[in-house]
Structure 1
Amino acid sequence: MFCFLRRIVPSRRHISPTTFQQLLCVQNQWLPSTARYCNSISTNGHSFTISYLIDTCGLSPEQAASASKYVHFESREKSDLVINFLKNLGFSQSQILRLTKKVPQLLRFDPEKTLLPKIEFFISRGVSSSDIPRLLCSCPSIMKRSLNKQLIPSFDFFRDLFQSNDKLIQALKYCSGILLDINTHAVPNMKLLKEVGVPESNIIKFLQFYPRTFTESPSKFNAIVEQVQEMGVDPSKSQFIIAVYALSSQSKATWSKKANVYKKWGWSDDDIVAAFRRSPFCMKKSVDKIDATMELLVDKLGCPPSTIPNYAVVLSLSLNKRIVPRASVFQVLLSKGLVKKKSLLSIFVCTERDFLNRFILSHGKEGSKLLKLYQAKLDVAG
């Protein structure tokens, strides 16, 4: 048994099931002491279930009503055992809310038989005890899948693919759902990417940082890949996998809203595609962020809208921490005739070292004033 589990749950070889349950219980203040939640059987089991989900688990009345379709209990004994078990493992109230909302059946599980073996397994493979809540909450459905038939074989498959436990664990913290149904989701999706020309190294990198994309159904994933191909994104480049991620992580309606913002500032459909092809993250920013950035570039700095797609990466940069501070320096330099207006967009994409050397430190005495201005803007951004 692993150290952190020893502190929480003594070895099952030395205790009876009854003692195990008693040890999982914590002091009464961990749970509400509402009178109607006494351990006696409720005369209305369905009402009791809904009340328990609201007051103990934190669900809204609507969420509780929905969850009660999948779980039903007339006393709090077993469900309290599960809640206390999760709290002892470090799950926050919001994480318990997420679990019970997504998998209400969890409240009927036997922690020793159903939950503990999964936790022991992940810890044995290198997941830290502090990361267990995050890993399980990234895909609550993992709690009700077979450890031996699904989770262990899937973990071993991806570990061999990554050739690293650490890289796999990083992916699992983003979305442990990749361990589910791999033969009907992740494997076919990876195969498709390889068929269209995505290098295996890029596929593995994609899986490591954007694992949730691989949980899409193959039909939807195929449609997204085809759309990215039609936009002319090169499969051999890293932009291809980022473009697939950008499309899969938002609805068509959301994409349309963002496209309309760009069009408001004078872009055509071709401009949007050209920008997306160069920097797919330009379509991952919020509508407000896109609008604010375009307003600064076009209205305040006088940048022609038609030139921005060639520097689409600017749109994915932080407005307050990158664009505004550097724009302030540029405006001073421009007013003194020390730079040309056509170099505006390039000032945002160069490295921090190049920016400081080219646009601040190279200007002698003026440079000290520029540095103070630049630092002041960064301080405001936090």
Structure 2
Amino acid sequence: MLLRSIFSRIHKSQFLNNFSSLANVNSLPLDSETAISPSKLKPFSAEENARDKVNVIAYLINSCGLSPNMAISTSKKVHFDIPAKPDAVLNFLAEHGFSKSQIAELVRKRPLILLSDPEKTLLPKIEFFLQWARVAKADVLRTIARDPTFLTRSVENQLIPIYNYLKDIIGAEKVANLLRRGSWSFKRPFAKRLIPNVDFLRAVGVPNSFIAFALYHYPEAISQKHDQFRETVAEVKEMGFDPLKSVFVVALHACSGGSNKALRARCYETYRKWGWSKDDIYMAFKKHPHCMLLSEKKISGVLSFLVTKMGCESRLIARQPHILFYSLEKRIIPRCSVFHLLSLKGLVRKDKSLSTILVPAEKKFLDMFVTKYAEEVPQLYDVYNGKAVVPEV
């Protein structure tokens, strides 16, 4: 019944007219390791094409665990006449510990994996993670399922050279963490990007410790095309950031990539709506460049509470942009509510800076503002835990 329904949907969406292009290997973005020789392809009739299409979809549903809709979509990217090779791949993945859901995720994200040679193409990548990088097997399975592009990389020409290069700079443990996270460092041309970009940072005077920090925390910024990277470095220097200070590489990350550029534009407009001048925004950016990568919801949420509820001056927060990064629900509201109640009782001065309230670790804050005044204001703990409401300003 399901196959009949799928067959009908193929006809309705005119798969018959388009299937010839799907069967043509030249139309598929195949890796060299999984390529099919055009000489092995033969012309099919429309009915044979449709029947083969249904068989592939049925296989993706029954053997790979994809939903019908996902199977139909995925079938546009992979084609096989008999299931021998896909069966071998699925058996290999299962034998190496991938769960059914992980296998489905792999096939959905990288359908051509079904045409791979398990021993020649897949096994070396898994062994690289386990034996070379010494990543725990459970982490290997999660990482590859989440980002199967690792299976398309050359172990000898890409994965091992990048691993060794990064290990010399940031250490083996952090490189293993980058692998677990699916770092950009392992997805970009090694010799054309990573090495020249690191060399350029050294040339402009960035200390090795800050380069290591950037490689670990902001690998996408260091993995830009070299010409673009040089332009970004020049832009950051023109803004007045000192390569000898760690904030330089933070600014480099904030200014990297088209998506970050779009975020900066949205942040700029949001801060302007809250009354910040261009100088205010620039001052905040100089202090904490990542304040230009926050969402409009995050910025407006924090400023709305501090300005509307607590009576703070919006522009003063530009001098303390780190405040914007604290959790509104878990830190800002509980602490400011406690402080506001104490100020209403005349127990603390109202002119204390927000940093005094928000920066201290929790134990220190409790000692300074809650435990100290608990006898005089018994409801302080309830206010701090959100069980009591404090009158607004």
Q: Which residue of 2 aligns with 1:145?
A: 153
1:280 aligned onto 2:289 = yes
Does the 8 A contact of 2:233 with 2:252 survive in 1? Answer: yes
Does the 8 A contact of 2:250 with 2:289 survive in 1? Answer: yes
Does the 8 A contact of 1:50 with 1:68 survive in 2? Answer: no
1:221 aligned onto 2:229 = yes
- The gaps in structure 1 that reach 5 residues or longer are 1-32
Alignment partner for residue 174 of structure 2, among 167, 175, 179? 167
1:371 aligned onto 2:376 = no
Specify whether residues 67 and 238 from structure 1 end up closer, same or farther in structure 2 by C-alpha distance, changes over 3 A only.
farther
Q: Which residue of 1 aligns with 2:326?
A: 317
In 1: Cα distance, 2:367 partner to 2:274 partner = 33
Give the superposition deviation at 1:119. Answer: 0.9
In 2: Cα distance, 1:339 partner to 1:88 partner = 65
Alignment partner for residue 360 of structure 2, among 350, 367, 370? 350
Q: TM-score, normalising length from structure 2? A: 0.76
Give the superposition deviation at 1:146. Answer: 1.9
1:117 aligned onto 2:127 = no
State which drifts further: 313-322 or 367-376. 367-376
- Which amino acid is 1:118 matched to? K
State which drifts further: 58-67 or 176-185. 58-67
Highest Rg: 1 or 2?
2
State which drifts further: 152-161 or 369-378. 369-378
Does the 8 A contact of 2:106 with 2:146 survive in 1? Answer: no
Q: Deviations over 1:71-108 (max 9, x none)?
A: 43123332233234334444456654554455332221
In 1: Cα distance, 2:380 partner to 2:157 partner = 63
Specify whether residues 279 and 177 from structure 1 end up closer, same or farther in structure 2 by C-alpha distance, changes over 3 A only.
closer
Q: TM-score, normalising length from structure 1? A: 0.78
Does the 8 A contact of 1:103 with 1:140 survive in 2? Answer: yes
State which drifts further: 296-305 or 350-359. 350-359
Q: Which residue of 2 aligns with 1:269?
A: 278
- Which amino acid is 2:233 matched to? V
Q: Which residue of 1 aligns with 2:314?
A: 305
Specify whether residues 232 and 101 from structure 1 end up closer, same or farther in structure 2 by C-alpha distance, changes over 3 A only.
farther
In 2: Cα distance, 1:131 partner to 1:59 partner = 26
In 2: Cα distance, 1:92 partner to 1:338 partner = 59
- Which amino acid is 2:185 matched to? I
- Which amino acid is 1:173 matched to? R
Give the superposition deviation at 1:257. Answer: 1.7
Q: Which residue of 2 aligns with 1:18?
A: none
In 1: Cα distance, 2:241 partner to 2:72 partner = 45
Does the 8 A contact of 2:251 with 2:289 survive in 1? Answer: yes
Give the superposition deviation at 1:139. Answer: 4.4
Specify whether residues 324 and 157 from structure 1 end up closer, same or farther in structure 2 by C-alpha distance, changes over 3 A only.
same
State which drifts further: 186-195 or 56-65. 56-65
Does the 8 A contact of 1:174 with 1:209 survive in 2? Answer: no
Q: Secondary structure at the match of 2:269?
A: helix
Specify whether residues 234 and 325 from structure 1 end up closer, same or farther in structure 2 by C-alpha distance, changes over 3 A only.
farther
Q: Which residue of 1 aligns with 2:34?
A: none
Does the 8 A contact of 2:53 with 2:75 survive in 1? Answer: no
Q: Secondary structure at the match of 1:188?
A: helix
Give the superposition deviation at 1:325. Answer: 0.8
1:165-244 alignment, distance < 5 Å: 165-180=172-187, 181-244=189-252
Q: Deviations over 1:20-43 (max 9, x none)?
A: xxxxxxxxxxxxx96999xxx993
Specify whether residues 362 and 235 from structure 1 end up closer, same or farther in structure 2 by C-alpha distance, changes over 3 A only.
farther
State which drifts further: 44-53 or 118-127. 44-53
- The gaps in structure 2 that reach 5 residues or longer are 7-43, 389-393
In 1: Cα distance, 2:192 partner to 2:242 partner = 26
Q: Deviations over 1:156-184 (max 9, x none)?
A: 2222223x321110122223442342111
Does the 8 A contact of 1:178 with 1:211 survive in 2? Answer: yes
Q: Pairwise CA RMSD of aligned residues?
A: 3.2
Specify whether residues 364 and 102 from structure 1 end up closer, same or farther in structure 2 by C-alpha distance, changes over 3 A only.
closer
Does the 8 A contact of 1:49 with 1:68 survive in 2? Answer: no
Does the 8 A contact of 2:221 with 2:253 survive in 1? Answer: yes
Give the superposition deviation at 1:231. Answer: 3.0
Identity value in percent:
39
Does the 8 A contact of 1:138 with 1:176 survive in 2? Answer: no
Q: Deviations over 1:316-352 (max 9, x none)?
A: 1111111111111111012112233332412112332
Q: Which residue of 2 aligns with 1:43?
A: 48
Does the 8 A contact of 1:326 with 1:374 survive in 2? Answer: yes
Q: Which residue of 1 aligns with 2:22?
A: none
Q: Alignment length, in residue pairs?
A: 341
Alignment partner for residue 162 of structure 2, among 144, 154, 158? 154
In 1: Cα distance, 2:288 partner to 2:101 partner = 35
Q: Deviations over 1:295-330 (max 9, x none)?
A: 011111111111111110000111111111111111
Specify whether residues 242 and 362 from structure 1 end up closer, same or farther in structure 2 by C-alpha distance, changes over 3 A only.
same
State which drifts further: 264-273 or 132-141. 132-141
Q: Secondary structure at the match of 1:338?
A: coil
Q: Which residue of 1 aligns with 2:18?
A: none
Specify whether residues 213 and 103 from structure 1 end up closer, same or farther in structure 2 by C-alpha distance, changes over 3 A only.
farther
- Which amino acid is 2:118 matched to? P
Q: Secondary structure at the match of 2:336?
A: helix
Q: Which residue of 1 aligns with 2:92?
A: 85
- Which amino acid is 2:195 matched to? V
In 2: Cα distance, 1:309 partner to 1:257 partner = 16
Does the 8 A contact of 1:189 with 1:218 survive in 2? Answer: yes
